[in-house]
Structure 1
Amino acid sequence: MIDQMTESLARIRFVLVETTHSGNIGAVARAMKTMGLSRLDLVAPRQRPDAEALARASGADDLLARAGVHENLTDALAGCRLVVGASARLRSIEWPLLEPPECAERLLAEAGEGEVALMLGRESSGLTNDELARCHFLVHIPTNPDFSSLNVAAAAQVLAYEIRRAARAVAGERLTETPRDLATAEAMEGFYAHLTETLVRIGFSDPEQSRTLTRRLRRLFNRAQPDRVELNILRGILSAAQGRKTPERFARPDEAPQPD
């Protein structure tokens, strides 16, 4: 599934139309590469990728080097079975409109069969109506209506993330944590006995009137589900509170001896 995801992402091209600032081209390349996208096409850029573009790319130099540069939109969209245009404003002429997550899902689904394109327009005015007429769908990023200005690279990052998120969902990819070595039930009971003893010894609780306190503390630590090392740290703290010292030769908390 991961290989299939990579292949689908490779068929999604970001097409930038008449970009004014080369730095934005570099920033878009960076946004794409962080999300596993690699196909960048430029239509009549006012400035070719230069030193500023390389600086803003921050390591996505390979995308800039491979970027296609076209004189017209027809060449840039050649071979695409689906074209989605990004627009910062809703137009008076109605186009089929997608939210970013829906846009990502459609692009990814069609990319499984062939080339697709996501088109972003000029920094100052976006895409023209004639350019949008080439699109099957329009994607709009809902922004604060009182301040809706979104830089082209920022828009690219939002859409690239949504594509990555959709691809990971299809592939069943999830963030995973290193498995924790949770403290066993016996170890927790030893800790609770040690805790009760310590609270009594330091004068914090009365053994005859501490049942409610003990239950609440059990609930607290059961919710936390400490692992073996964390439990050793807690017991070390209890030992210190009782006036027992942990030998300095134990460099790590998990190496400290367990009090009885």
Structure 2
Amino acid sequence: MHKPALPLEGTDTFNDRIRIVLVETTHSGNIGAVARAMKNMGLGSLWLVNPKSFPDEASYARSAGASDVLDRARVVASLDEAIDDCVLVMGTSARGRKVPWPVMPPPEAAITASEATAGGCVALVFGRESNGLSNEELQRCHHHIHIPSNPEYSSLNLAMAVQVMCYELRMHYLRGLEAGEGSPYLKPMAAPGDAGWDVSLASVRDVEGFFGHLEQMLVDVEFHRRDNPRQLMTRLRRLFQRARLDEMEVNILRGILTAAQKAAGKQGAHSQSAGDDAPAPGQEKDHV
């Protein structure tokens, strides 16, 4: 038995006016993999033109929980049936043509497809695993989509090609949310102060206290000489300021410095040189 469908998140399922059309798919497992790729990116309209085998256990097994996309899939006998009510048809193609045809890479194709849904359904057409779309089928498309893969190994698995386009469609959708009400998906979380970071950014006072403590510890272990400093502290300052420490990280580092001073028999030596708010012994453990 195939896996039950995982629930679609209503707010992340978008634009059923964009349909993925697969032409004469040979391997039913690829149909399941395409359904999974679609559901990953919030798409659910799948049309199958004369598939060799569908539905079957292989397609549902490969869908990995996207069985609802397969349950809704429309099976038709010809490409005409799949695209007749569409206002825009875009077909994937890796081949050059004697007669030039409008062609665009996936990001631009996603924008064009999304904007066209304001007037009706849009079809993104993918061909056979072995030889893609025929010339006649490509001529039914308003635009061709070319995925700029490695020219020395340019053939993509069907589901991979669909995934590329579904990803670009989703990115365009999320950028639209970000420009409007806001989208949590595209906002980075790379440093303290970013939304979602668990600890506040350390203050200048905290960081300066750490630098004073660090210098004293380096003196205590005879690694650094204040009478001949060279550029040691300047470079260490540059290193740690580049890291943008948060409050917990400062406390952890100062705990390490205190432990090093204790091991060197210099515990408490820093208290006079820093003259600041060094954490008491063991305090840093409360923050780990």
Equivalent of residue 250 in structure 2, options 214, 217, 231: 231
- Paired residue total: 252
Deviation sequence 1:178-217 (CA, Å, 0-9, x none): 1451111111111111111101111111122226222221
Equivalent of residue 139 in structure 1, options 135, 141, 145: 145
- Counterparts of residues 194-233 of structure 1 (less than 5 Å): 194-210=213-229, 212-233=231-252
Once the two structures are TM-superposed, the CA of residue 175 in structure 1 deviates from its matched residue by: 3.0
Once the two structures are TM-superposed, the CA of residue 248 in structure 1 deviates from its matched residue by: 11
TM-score by length of 1: 0.89
Matched, 1:94 2:107: no
Structure 1 unpaired stretches of 5+: none
Please give the alpha-carbon distance, in whole angstroms, between the structure 1 residues aligned to 2:117 and 2:172. Answer: 12
2:158 match: 152
1:255 match: 287
2:209 match: 190
Please give the alpha-carbon distance, in whole angstroms, between the structure 2 residues aligned to 1:92 and 1:125. Answer: 18
1:240 match: 259
Q: Which moved more, 1:116-125 or 1:157-166?
A: 157-166
1:86–1:121: 8 Å Cα contact kept in structure 2?
A: yes
Q: 1:115 to 1:5 in 2, by over 3 A?
A: farther
1:77 match: 83
Deviation sequence 1:96-133 (CA, Å, 0-9, x none): 11111111110011123321010001111111122112
Q: 1:21 to 1:97 in 2, by over 3 A?
A: same
1:29–1:40: 8 Å Cα contact kept in structure 2?
A: yes
Matched, 1:53 2:59: yes
Matched, 1:38 2:51: no
Identity %: 48
Once the two structures are TM-superposed, the CA of residue 5 in structure 1 deviates from its matched residue by: 8.2
Please give the alpha-carbon distance, in whole angstroms, between the structure 1 residues aligned to 2:20 and 2:286. Answer: 51
Q: 1:6 to 1:255 in 2, by over 3 A?
A: closer
Please give the alpha-carbon distance, in whole angstroms, between the structure 2 residues aligned to 1:83 and 1:108. Answer: 12
1:169 match: 175
SS in structure 2 at match of 1:46: coil
Q: 1:248 to 1:79 in 2, by over 3 A?
A: farther
Q: 1:52 to 1:101 in 2, by over 3 A?
A: same
Matched, 1:15 2:21: yes
Once the two structures are TM-superposed, the CA of residue 63 in structure 1 deviates from its matched residue by: 0.3
Q: 1:51 to 1:217 in 2, by over 3 A?
A: same
2:255–2:282: 8 Å Cα contact kept in structure 1?
A: no
1:117 match: 123
2:274 match: none
Q: Which amino acid aligns with 1:204?
A: F
SS in structure 2 at match of 1:193: helix
Once the two structures are TM-superposed, the CA of residue 229 in structure 1 deviates from its matched residue by: 0.9
Please give the alpha-carbon distance, in whole angstroms, between the structure 2 residues aligned to 1:59 and 1:247. Answer: 53
SS in structure 2 at match of 1:119: strand
TM-score by length of 2: 0.81
Structure 2 unpaired stretches of 5+: 1-9, 190-195, 268-278
Please give the alpha-carbon distance, in whole angstroms, between the structure 2 residues aligned to 1:110 and 1:202. Answer: 69
